[in-house]
């Protein structure tokens, strides 16, 4: 009987750990990540998977940057948001 009790206790501990991991992943999945460029005047927001959800470009950025530099700044802001999402994932699931 003792072996069965120990096995049940280990199983319950595993199930509790799995629930905690599932909750942590759900919380991470719901988060939003922001990256900025051009001194914060361009702001990109992505979800945990890197899907672009919002892009804000200050009028000053539009006025002072030519098309190529504006595109580069937008790309940089998005990349920074994606990097923030990846860093959060790595903190949650090291080695994943």
Domain ranges of the chain: 1-30, 32-96
The confidence band for 16, taking pLDDT boundaries of 50, 70 and 90, is: confident
Q: Please write the tens of the pLDDT for every residue from 55-91.
A: 999 999 999 999 999 999 999 999 999 999 999 888 8
Q: What are phi and psi of 2, to 5 degrees?
A: -60, -40
Q: What is the CATH number of domain 32-96?
A: 3.30.1310.10
Angstrom CA distances, 20 to 49, 71, 91, stand at 20, 41, 15
């Amino acid at each position: 009987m003792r072996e069965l009790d120990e096995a049940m206790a280990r199983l319950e501990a595993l199930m509790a750990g799995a629930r905690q991991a599932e909750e942590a992943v759900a919380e991470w999945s719901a988060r939003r990540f922001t990256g900025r460029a051009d001194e914060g005047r361009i702001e990109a927001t992505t979800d945990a998977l890197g899907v672009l959800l919002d892009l804000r470009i200050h009028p000053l950025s539009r006025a002072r940057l030519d098309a190529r530099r504006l595109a580069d700044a937008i790309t940089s802001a998005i990349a920074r948001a994606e990097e923030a999402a990846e860093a959060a994932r790595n903190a949650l699931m090291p080695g994943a």
